[in-house]
């Protein structure tokens, strides 16, 4: 059966699995506490951590598609956790900023995140954690700078479907 391809060792497979295991557990926490979705938490975290930023910046930062960001922002706005501030020089963009309410929630969630991180760290042990972090750093560097953009077209027959324009 197995020829020489080892599925269990295949990096995308392992990474996905790991990411799922790690983030689902945390997602369950903020979901239970605030009924918030993952994109919402991500946007909130970005804003809380970096302070005022635009939707596009949030997207770039958290690798979320702009529609996801748009909807997450709308949801947070509805909760009155953030407000939009227009740019005087460019009326297309809007700067986003957490309200006091939003900031409070952010702090609470950041605390939870830290706790969770500590939990993970102790589960992993110092050695495992360090290796994982280094490995991830290497990967990030490789993926982002190594090949420039993110259009996947290395080898393989393209059967381009949509696309023109």
Partner DNA sequence: TCGTAACGGTTGATTTTGCAACTATCAAGA
Partner DNA sequence: TCTTGATAGTTGCAAAATCAACCGTTACGA
Residue 105 CB neighbours (<10 A): 21
Q: Whole-number minimum distance, CB 129 to DNA, in Å?
A: 27
Contact residues for DNA, defined by CB under 7 A: 37-39, 54-57, 65-71, 73-74, 89-94, 152, 154-155, 157-158, 162-163, 165
DSSP structure class, residue 88: S
Which residue stretches of the chain are H helix?
A: 11-34, 38-50, 55-62, 66-78, 100-146
Look at phi and psi of residue 63 and say left if phi exceeds 0, alpha if psi is from -120 to 50, else beta. Answer: left
Q: Whole-number minimum distance, CB 127 to DNA, in Å?
A: 32
Q: Which of residues 32-71 bind a second copy (CB under 8 A)?
A: 32-33, 35, 42, 45-46, 48-51, 62-63
Decide which of a second copy, DNA, none touches 126; Cβ closer than 5 to 8 Å per partner kind: none
Decide which of DNA, a second copy, none touches 136; Cβ closer than 5 to 8 Å per partner kind: a second copy
Residue 66 and residue 59 in contact, taking contact as beta carbons nearer than 8 Å: yes
């Amino acid at each position: 059966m197995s020829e020489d391809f080892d599925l269990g060792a295949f990096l995308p497979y392992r990474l996905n699995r790991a990411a799922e295991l790690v983030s689902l557990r945390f997602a369950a926490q903020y979901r239970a506490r605030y009924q918030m979705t993952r994109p919402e938490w991500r946007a909130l975290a970005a804003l809380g951590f970096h302070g005022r930023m635009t939707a596009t910046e949030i997207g770039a930062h958290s690798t979320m598609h702009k529609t996801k960001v748009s909807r997450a922002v709308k949801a947070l706005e509805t909760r009155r956790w953030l407000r939009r501030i227009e740019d005087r020089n460019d009326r297309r963009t809007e700067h986003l900023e957490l309200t006091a309410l939003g900031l409070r929630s952010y702090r609470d969630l950041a605390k939870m995140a830290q706790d969770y991180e500590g939990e993970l760290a102790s589960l992993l042990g110092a050695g495992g954690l360090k290796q994982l972090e280094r490995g991830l750093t290497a990967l990030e560097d490789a993926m982002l700078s190594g090949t420039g953009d993110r259009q996947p077209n290395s080898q393989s027959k393209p059967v381009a479907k949509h696309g023109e324009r």
